[in-house]
Each structure stands twice: as C-alpha cells, then as structure tokens.
A and B are shown apart, each in its own frame.
Chain A
C-alpha cells in the first residue's frame, strides 16, 4: 500500500468523504419528505398504506446483511476463502431479499391506486425509498462482483481493503434505511398491525 500523510488508505478516505456527500443527498430527500408529510390533498394517504410489520421484517433482513458484511470482511482479512465466499454471497442475497420486499411494496401501493404522480406522499415516498433502493442495488452488484472475485480465488487478505470500502458503503446504506424506517414508517401514524 502507498504511503499516505495520515496513514489512512486513500480509498477509505474517498469513501468517507463520499458518505459525507451522500448525507446531504439523503438529507435533502428526508427534509422534503418531512416538509410534505400530511400535505397530500387526495388519497390514498400514508397511514392507510404503510405496512409496518412487513417492513420491519425486511428491515431486519437488511440489518442482518450488515452483520454478514462484518463477517465477510473478517473472513477476507483472515484469509479464509470459504468464509469470504459464503458471507459475501449471504450479504448480497439478504440485500436482494430486501429489494424484493421493496418491489413487492411498490407494486402493492400502485395496485392500491398510488401512482407516482398521485399525491405528495407518492412522489416523496417513491423517490426517497427508491433512491435508497438504487443504492442497495449498486451495493448488491458490487458485493456480487467481490463474490465472483472470491470464487476465482482473487480475493486474498492483500485485497481486504476492497472489501472494507464496500463494507463502509453497505453499512452506510443500512444506516440510511434505519433513518428512513423511523421517519417514514414508525412516525407515519399507520397502525402497527
């Protein structure tokens, strides 16, 4: 690894700075969501649609993917090829399960009459969660690429920084979801059952 002034690898610092930038991106989306909450003038409204128990399950799945990510990094750093492959794949798969839940949810909402341009809730909801979903998608593609590298035996401990940087991204996307889950779902006034 190249010498750096701070001792922090360049790639890692790049990811941290990028995450700082992303905070403003999601911050703007969340601020807009909050500013427009409850201001739709036609239904269906959020409290009629949001299904907290269902999303709690997919949220749990996404959080578990973060745990798998930690285990994957640890396996790569240890030089454990079996663990690397297993946990990278599991992280990506759990991300895919989360995305499947989102597709199901979006479909269901559309079926209930919530088109993209239906009301203020539809626009803010689809764009905010959709943006997050796009980030998860990118993460899944990234993880599967790393997994393919691991399958071909090209992801030894000397490449662990690649996994660490991907992990930073993945954990950040998870943290954003925790905020979205709180702001959009838990604070929505939708009934718990």
Chain B
C-alpha cells in the first residue's frame, strides 16, 4: 500500500510522469491508461475471434469437410459472433472513447475515474468468464442471438448457456457503467467555450453511442435473467409447454441487438468524420447535418428490431411498419456518406493510412448498406434470412464499416498515444490486402446465400454449386489473416521506433492535438478555452496565462476488488451458493472501501 500512496503523489501532484510497474496499471484510474488496457484487450479478443473465424472458414473450404465436428463448429460460430461484437469491437471503441474523448473536450479525466477503472475490470471479468467455458465442458453453441427454446436446459444441457448468461451479464453491466460515465463526462466536462455544436464528431458519436448503450442493454439483461431462471429455477418464460413464448426472447434480444449494431458502427462513423476533414484539409461538410443524422440513426435504430424477425410471422401490418422504418434509416446513413464525399470534394487530399481506411469504410459500408436495404423488404428477406446473404451483409457493415473505421482510428491516433507514427508502407500494404481479403471473403457469400446456402451448418454436400464460393471465401480469409499479421508486425516495429511524431503530426484541427504526444498525466497544463469549431485551424483556442491548480485522482485498487467480487458471485451461480455469497460480500466490502476512500 505504501507504494501505491507514493505513486499517487508522484502521479497526481508532479503532473507529467507515470509511476511504473504492474501495480500502477492494476490500480490506475487514468483515462489514458484505461483506454490502452481496453484497446489491448479488445485487440487480443479480435485475434481470438479472428482465429475462430479462420477455423470456421477452414471447415467450410470444401464440401463434407471434417476438420471440425458439428458441435465444435456450433461453439465456434457462436463464440466468434459474441467475441467480435462484445469483446473485440466494443472494447477497442471503448479504448478510443477513453483515451481520446477527454482530450477532445479539454478535460483532465473522465467524470468518475474509479468507476471507469471498474468498467474495464468488469468487462475483462465478463470476457474471461465467457471464454473460460471452453475449458469447462464447452462454449455456448446456440448462436450469438441464442434463440429460445434452443437454449433451454432440455436442448442445451451443458453449462455453455450458463456461461453465456453470466458472462454477458457482467460485460453488459460494464458497458452500461462506462456509458453512464461518458454521458456525464461529455455533457459536463467540456472546456469553456466548447459548445455542443463545436464538439468533434468522434465525441458526438461517443455521446450518442453511450445513450444507446444505457437504453439498449437493459432489455437484453432482463432476457438473460429470464433465461437464467428458466434454466436454473424452472420458470416458464420461454417454455412453450408452460404457456411461455419463445418469441419473447427474440423481442428482448433484438430490442438490444439492433441498437447494438449502431453501437458498433457509430464510433467508426465518428472516427472517419474526424479523419476525412483532416486529410482533405477542409472542415467537415455540413457539420450539423452529420451530427443530426447520427442522432437520427440512433433514434430510428430503436424502432426497427423486428426486421430481424420477419420470418417469425408477426403479421403483414407489423412487417410493413418495420420494413418502412428500416428503409428510413438508409436516409440519414446516406446523408453521412454524401457529407464525407462532399468533404473530400475539392480538398487537397493526402492518402495516408487513416484516410485510406476511411475511404474504405465509405465504399464498403455503402455495399453493406445496400444489401441491408434489400432485406429491409420483408418479402425479399424471407428469401434471404438465415442464408449466407445475411452473413455477407453483416460482414460488409461490421468488417467493411466498423473494422475499417477502427483501423482508421488506430492509424490516426497511434502517434498521439505513443508519440510514434505507424510505418506507412506496411500500412498501405495492410490496407490493400485487407480490402482484397475481405471482399474475396464476403462478396461470394452473397451468391452462396442467394443460391440457398444456409448459415450455421457445419458442412454442405457437393454438387449444389456452393463449392466455388466457399473456397473463394476461405482463400479470402487467409489473405485477411496475412493482412492482420502485417498490421501486428507494423505495430510492434513502430513501438520500437523513435518518438518523433510531435504534438500534431497530421495537422489536425481538434483539441487532442493541442497537447504533447503522448500527453502528460494531466493532459493540459492549463484548460484551453475554445472559440470555434476546428480550434487548431482557426485560432479557435486560447490558453489562459498563469498556473492552474488541479488535483489528479489517486490510484485505487477498489474497482478491481468490486469487479472481482462480482465475478466470484457470478461464478458462484455455477459452483455453489457459498462462493456466490462470498463474492457478494467481497463486492459489498469493496464498494464501502471505495466510497470512503478519498479521491484526491
């Protein structure tokens, strides 16, 4: 403890230097360090999810393949979906929220630094709990949307679904807590003069996504609790023999699940809305419209969940309404596309890595958006649902959209975080290989799907015309893997290079570039005053003279204690009541320790 207190003082008061060592990372409440932890964890799980995808593609490369058994295949596609959505993309985006947003708004940290650390540890506990299922009798295998009553103890007898429920409950709670923190941070900790209509788009989209998270996760949490009670205590929520209705699960899941896709894509939209102006040397075209369309996408996103359920038979009126609303979402999304193109129009464009990936997003997301409008139409969807056409669509928007956007962000902010630029030649190779690899993987899936190849079957017979498409997809997946290896090579090499990036290597316009790279612990020596949008371009920043007094928050291990207690309580649901009670006691003790610990 003495070391922690000493670290507290050197971290807070001296301002500028971090304490070193593992303990300082475990007890950190600094938003930049938590951002790095989030990002590295997300990157790790991105590789895990990618490995799962490679195994899936290997199995499907040729008909009647026997690399994987049906049971293992089911576990892998389930875990691939869950891992990519909840443990790769969301934490990588959360890493950017954490690191960048306080800098973009000119704050010294988030509103609740310890709560922020808690979010990270709880997310990690959830991810580890779910993935540990591989070692305890098998992972969940009912798909990431886990339709009832496939998930009942009758049809999913192992513990896989219990891990699903408990792991996702922790990860969901972690997301809600983090989102609450960012809502308060963005609304309340903006630098003087930084009005809402001057906020960088990435911060704006973080705010929108945070609202989506706090409103979308609770219905899913309730659904998983119903499922837990069905499985453990014999309630009848999804049990048809007792009058329960499996479709209830679908509603609860998709009321979460559809906003979730905007939770995944809007951060990427925010990133490219910051990157494209920087590399076109022009302010974002139609800034207010880009903001409003982001809000509108999020708002409409809550009213379209049943387009995932057209084949359930909700009736023509419900299907028509959900069809129409779904098509409406294409309008604000299209507006954004045109705003990005108009931003580039007439700009002096520099095709550096962040820009390449941003343009990649604009192109690839448009393809995914178009196939999305296709199955917004209920009759067309009935032909496409549960086929590879849907797999193609969702990967164009999530891989071509979100992953490309996140890579744009990684290349863009890497120099801010490390003081070093990522190698441009490897980055260009990474971009083109990834673009070719993903198109070769996912474009043939459109045809395989329209020819009737169903999702989620572990193999297919020869002679149905699926062979060529599947082999192409597998080759494409191999190219994608190669691209990722190039990225990792670049990442490691660049970390070892000299820190020569300087404060603003891209000559960008937003506040995070006004401080050194990497920024000092306290971010800004004096809180900047902002007098225009794009402050670094238009002399829109004033630094008040004189010293400013501030106190950085102390490190704390209580967030980890509370998260660990909650993990123990959740594991207790599987191991036994005493463990659960002990976990709850640890968590409660942790909350008290936390509450009565001085912040500064």
Q: Give the B-binding residues of A (Cβ under 8 A).
A: 4-6, 8, 10, 13-14, 17-18, 20-22, 24-25, 27-29, 32, 35-36, 39-41, 116-117, 119-120, 122-124, 127, 145
Contact = CB atoms under 8 A, between A and B. Distances in A.
Contact of B225 (A10, A41, A127, A145): A127
A116 B235 contact: yes
B214 A21 contact: yes
Q: Chain A binding site: helix, strand, loop or mixed by DSSP?
A: helix
**Interface size bracket, B side:** 35 or more
Given A22-B218, A41-B242, A123 B237 contact: yes
Contacts of B188: 4-6, 8, 10, 13
Contact of A20 (B214, B237, B592): B214
A39 B243 contact: yes
A13 B187 contact: yes
B503 interface: no
Contacts of B187: 5-6, 13
B430 interface: no
Contacts of A124: 237
A143 to B, nearest CB: 14
A8 B111 CA distance: 12
A22 B255 CA distance: 15
Given A32-B252, A122-B235, 6 more contacts: A8-B188, A14-B180, A14-B181, A116-B234, A120-B236, A120-B237
Contacts of A28: 218-219, 222-223, 252, 255
A24 B180 contact: no
A29 B222 contact: yes
B286 interface: no
Interface string B227-238: 001000111110
Contacts of B216: 24
A69 B219 CA distance: 30
Contacts of A22: 218
Contacts of A20: 214-215
B6 interface: no
A21 B234 contact: no
Contact of A119 (B190, B217, B225, B243): B243
B184 A14 contact: yes
A8 B187 CA distance: 10
A122 B187 CA distance: 42
A33 B207 CA distance: 32
B219 A24 contact: yes
Contacts of B255: 28
Contacts of A13: 183-184, 187-188
B235 to A, nearest CB: 4
Contacts of A116: 229, 233-235
B244 interface: yes
B236 A4 contact: no
B112 interface: yes
Given A5-B187, A13-B188, A32-B248, A25 B221 contact: yes
Contacts of B244: 36, 120
A127 B229 contact: yes
Contact of A123 (B194, B236, B595): B236
11 contacts: A4-B189, A10-B111, A13-B184, A14-B111, A21-B214, A24-B218, A28-B223, A29-B222, A120-B236, A123-B237, A127-B235
A21 B180 contact: yes
A127 B228 CA distance: 12
A18 B592 CA distance: 20
A27 B235 CA distance: 20
B447 interface: no
Nearest to A120: B243
Closest 9 pairs (CB-CB, A-B) = A117-B234, A123-B235, A25-B218, A24-B218, A21-B214, A28-B222, A4-B188, A28-B219, A10-B111
